[in-house]
Amino acid sequence: MSLVNEKLALLNIDAVEPADKLELKAERLPYGFNRLFLWRLLRLVSVLFSPRTPGQVLYYYILFILVSGANEAAVYYAMKVPSEFYTLLLGKDPSQLGPVIGRAIGILLGAIVGKTLVTFVGGLFEFHLRDALTRYLHSLFLRRHVFYSVLSDNDMDNVDQRITQDADKFANITRLVFQAIIISPALIIYYIVETWKIVGYIGPVLSLAYFILFAVLSRLVMSPAVKAIFLRERHEGIFRFLHVRLRTFGESVAMLHGESIERRSADRALDALIHRQKMTVYWQIPVTFVNQISSYFGSIVTYLFIAIPIFNHRYDNLTPIELTALISQYSAMAMYLIFQFTSIVEQSTNFVQLAGFANRIGQLVEKAEREAHAHQSEHGDDDDNDDDNIKDVLIPGGKRSTEEHGSGGIQFSDVDVISPAGKTLISKLNLSVSLGENLLVTGPNGTGKTSFVRVLCGLWPAATGERTYTGTLRNSDVYLMPQVPYLTSGSLRAQIAYPQPSSSVDDARLATVLEWVGLFYLLGSVDSADTDYGTEWPRMLSPGEAQKLVFARLLHACPRLAVLDEATSAVDASTEAQLYANCRALGITLISVGHRDSLRSNHQVELRLHGDGHYTISALTQ
């Protein structure tokens, strides 16, 4: 079972909760255009725009405002150019042609440069925003005690998509919104003052009321659209994963002739995605409708606003010519004011998208922070310093004598191992693993061997009881080798050095550990030990070779205690014997999970799991 689960976890496909149940849960999530969204947006903005955030988003934002302001001024003068030609032609004075053309060229060039700069600085702003946001998410997510818990959370779909695609779209839409309304607040204040001067408070107050009315209407119609976007992105992630899985398991699917059934499930996932996409299109209808009412009616309501004081005889003392001038002056100003307001309302389509992405990213941020706090309040900071821990594990070239095992080990006292689905796998486990004494964990499939390893290394909490390190052994002395060999992206040297940088393994060390596991020939098959093969490694090696390569990594790390979860299941018997002999020679104490009889001679104690919580512990005769 554990292999399946590892793979499911890898693919982010839930092993326990049925998909329909998850879908229902997602439907009920409160992800609309609401306080939660505003809170999440505010948090993201306060982190990203902080002057302490690397990437200096704030400075690019300020530059963006300045360039947009200058561009707005250039546009203002560019709009006046036609009227200058109009005056020139009416004046019939050819001597003015040259100066007018010269001025026009200067102004228009200014406007062109302004617009180009706005686009350029906007691009820089977007790029820095994405950079800062993604790094922030990396710093929250790729942490010990957070990473695995977040990935294992059933409510947290497609974490990878949130960090890659959603963060990118968030940055892009923020830029679009800013570009459209970045200096609107300043212009709004300016035109409020101007209209106030002409018709008193009534003009700006009514314009403001008009804006508020449409802002409220927009908010009402936006909420369902935000949720639709949230759900669409979720299905987008599921659909993409399905294709990633096909790529990963392409060979297995082809060998099993699974193309048609895969096509059916891919089509089903596409159906669900298209349905969600359709819903987002439908929900855009009221949003766009409200937008359009706001823009079209905006142009005529200005006349209605000025009608109020006129009909109330406030301007009865003005001559018709003065009144015409006042109406034309006011309507130009008021129209521009309403235009500024409506351009904010018009951004509602973008706001909808922004809210969808902010909710998805915010949910991830909250989950990661919750996990970090939960761990910290439970354990303090004791074993959190990852780098220190890793350094402790690595003793390159080290060979430990029996005395150097030191005293200590791992003690399980009344530990219950219970699966997330609530199944008791091991009940009241009392076991002491001492350094220098190898333990073999056996039992039929699904009885909880890998689950025992998870509790041992702290990925799962012990439901009851306590797992403690005794003597001089510490958490950082324990090295885990999972059932599925993890081949990192990069060079051959990077494979051995992982999770340390490649530079920590010199050529001699690399050759030695490869020799130990019988993979010396790999040095001849790669261009060089430092050639970056990206993520091609699983394709370049057979499963047995992959297991040997990660074993070489273990031998290089040379920990005091290693836990091997069926780590030699794909290698032949004589290689397995050689790998265990290497561990013995280096003084590495082993806890192995395995089914093969040949393993017994390498261990002194056996923990046998029988299922339903039962177990036996016995000494192994050599």
Which stretches of the chain bind ligand ATP, using CB under 6 A?
1-3, 5, 15-16, 419-421, 423, 425, 443, 445-451
Structure letter (DSSP) for residue 613: B
**207 vs 450, beta carbon nearer ligand ATP:** 450
**Residue 59, token pair as written in the block:** 């400075």
Calpha distance 376→75 (Å, rounded): 55
**501 vs 543, beta carbon nearer ligand ATP:** 543
Shortest Cβ distance from residue 251 to ligand ATP (Å)?
A: 22
Sheet of 464-471, strands arranged across: 424-434, 408-418, 464-471
Shortest Cβ distance from residue 385 to ligand ATP (Å)?
A: 28
Q: Which residue is nearest to ligand ATP (CB)?
A: 2
**194 vs 566, beta carbon nearer ligand ATP:** 566
Shortest Cβ distance from residue 372 to ligand ATP (Å)?
A: 21
**91 vs 461, beta carbon nearer ligand ATP:** 461
**91 vs 444, beta carbon nearer ligand ATP:** 444
Structure letter (DSSP) for residue 281: H
Q: What is the largest CA-CA distance in the chain?
A: 116
Secondary structure class of 433 (helix, strand, coil): strand
The residue count of the chain comes to 622
In terms of Cβ atoms closer than 10 Å to its own Cβ (0-12, 13-18, 19+), residue 504 is middle
Shortest Cβ distance from residue 16 to ligand ATP (Å)?
A: 5
What stretch of H or E contains 216?
Answer: helix 202-248
* 564 touches 481 (CB < 8 A): yes
Shortest Cβ distance from residue 465 to ligand ATP (Å)?
A: 17
- Is the N-terminal amide bond of 538 cis, ω within 30° of 0? no
Calpha distance 596→566 (Å, rounded): 9
Cα 322 to Cα 121, 195, 249, 301, 593: the distances in Å are 45, 16, 80, 21, 95
* 82 φ/ψ angles, rounded to the nearest 5 degrees: -55, -40
Cα 549 to Cα 44, 263, 439, 480, 565: the distances in Å are 42, 35, 23, 15, 15
Shortest Cβ distance from residue 587 to ligand ATP (Å)?
A: 27
Shortest Cβ distance from residue 166 to ligand ATP (Å)?
A: 25
**425 vs 505, beta carbon nearer ligand ATP:** 425
Shortest Cβ distance from residue 460 to ligand ATP (Å)?
A: 8
**148 vs 469, beta carbon nearer ligand ATP:** 148
Calpha distance 118→587 (Å, rounded): 64
**423 vs 608, beta carbon nearer ligand ATP:** 423
C-alpha R_g of the chain: 34
Termini Cα distance of the chain: 30
**396 vs 465, beta carbon nearer ligand ATP:** 465
Shortest Cβ distance from residue 5 to ligand ATP (Å)?
A: 4
Calpha distance 192→333 (Å, rounded): 9
